[in-house]
Amino acid sequence: MPGSRTGRPPVQRAVRRPAAPRAARDNPLRRLHTRALRAWDRPLTAYYLILGGSLLIIVLGLVMVYSASQVTALQMSLPGSFFFRKQFLAACIGGVLLLVASRMPVKLHRALAYPILAGAVFMMALVQVPGIGMSVNGNQNWISLGGSFQIQPSEFGKLALVLWGADLMARKQEKRLLAQWKHMLVPLVPVSFLLLGLIMLGGDMGTAIILTAILFGLLWLAGAPTRLFAGVLSIAGVLGVILIKTSPNRMARLACIGATEPKTGVADCWQAVHGIYALASGGLFGSGLGASVEKWGQLPEAHTDFIFAVTGEELGLAGTLSVLALFAALGYAGIRVAGRTEDPFVRYAAGGVTTWITAQAVINIGAVLGLLPIAGVPLPLFSYGGSALLPTMFAIGLMIAFARDEPAARAALAMRQPRFGRKRGAGPQGPRRWNTMRRRASAARSSGER
């Protein structure tokens, strides 16, 4: 080999190899997706979704109730903030119920199932007593508490059916009785029909639909066979058709599905059509908070059943999609709680509450969009109405208690340290040192090992 000028052999340069393609894990989008999945799968995800999502819905609902109800209050010669103050008071009471329910143990929830059911049946029966019950918008489902305060016992019937049905199905599952049809149907279906009958005596078919959805949700979670499920669904469907056919008001509401003109044949679809007008005039970001035009006497029930239409007009598509996203997060969190627990009562109760809130939101929003008949049910946690808000917030507290009670969530909450004050587990010798994997590995090394 010839030498160089310095007499040294030439330096052999390393052959450059083609650069290897960047690993998939170095892709920023892939890393972001992995982190999102990891954060989504944390033990406290359901807890934060239920707590944060419900609070956001309630706060946004208070803002929209204040905006949508001012004109109605002024037309009734009342202060503009009249309905907002009542809703805010109900939200404060509901917050106390939510906090109490979230701190109650599961055994106490099960113990309250029968008293709540008995109280709901008693109040729903009082509604039909002359001089006690009162009619609102053609439905005899209200009890006056004096002054401007009223209560609708059928709203508490939803909570009663969820708690009592979950306790009943859990006890039957523990005794392995759900494999028999009679134990799956009795007494769940007869008691549900008792509640439905008391509600239908007042003519409130919207609430009856929600209770029917809760019943089907409990049967589905119990693993009802397809034939049994289809049989109960067929009976409910036949009864529903009969009730609709025998009521001109319900037939008119059915005829307003997809209506674009106030007069659709013999039906007056004023409310349904003006709900579509409100959504259509909102655009992408809306006309601005408080700037709705339809709430000035054009849209009936603007702060109750059709508050979603006012939201679309003032906050636009962005606002309505935000509300839908919050309800979707609540639904996902409820399904996650029901699917990860090993307690049958928690599974049935979480599934029942999720079915209740999701079905009611779908029915309300579907009616505003013109896809479903107007059933007269409020948007959960969002519309005006203390009778609907109080049991729903108690049910949210129930879900929070279930989310905190998961084994992984309990461990994660126990590991959290308070930011201020004395740390958990701190004794006279200082805070407890947790045996983490790193400390155990460090302790196993010798003193000279590095």
Q: What secondary structure, in 3-state letters, does 77-100 show?
A: CCCCCHHHHHHHHHHHHHHHHHHH
- DSSP summary character for residue 377: -
How far apart CA 316 and CA 302 sit, in angstroms, is: 16
Sign of CA dihedral 170, 171, 177, 180: negative
Among 77, 155, 156, 78, residue whose Cα is nearest residue 113: 156
- DSSP summary character for residue 135: E
pLDDT in the model for residue 133: 85
Dump pLDDT digits (tens) for 406-421.
777 777 877 875 554 4
* Helices marked H in 222-372: 226-245, 248-255, 270-280, 307-340, 344-368
Tell me the HSE value of 93 on the side-chain side, using a 13 A CA sphere.
13
Whole-angstrom distance between the N-terminal and C-terminal Cα of the chain?
Answer: 47
Low-confidence winner among 10-14, 38-42, 48-52, 197-201 (lowest mean pLDDT): 10-14
Dump pLDDT digits (tens) for 351-392.
999 999 999 999 999 999 999 999 889 999 999 999 999 999
Cβ atoms of 215 and 189 closer than 8 Å: yes
* Helices marked H in 175-267: 181-185, 188-201, 205-221, 226-245, 248-255
How far apart CA 175 and CA 166 sit, in angstroms, is: 14
Dump pLDDT digits (tens) for 294-328.
999 889 999 999 999 999 999 999 999 999 999 99
pLDDT in the model for residue 234: 86
What pTM was estimated for this model as a whole? 0.85
Mean pLDDT of the chain: 85
Three-state DSSP at 133 gives strand
pLDDT in the model for residue 170: 96
How far apart CA 53 and CA 174 sit, in angstroms, is: 33
Q: Express as a percent the part of the chain with pLDDT over 70.
A: 86
Cβ atoms of 341 and 402 closer than 8 Å: yes
For residue 19, pLDDT over 70 is answered with: no
Low-confidence winner among 57-66, 182-191, 195-204, 231-240 (lowest mean pLDDT): 231-240
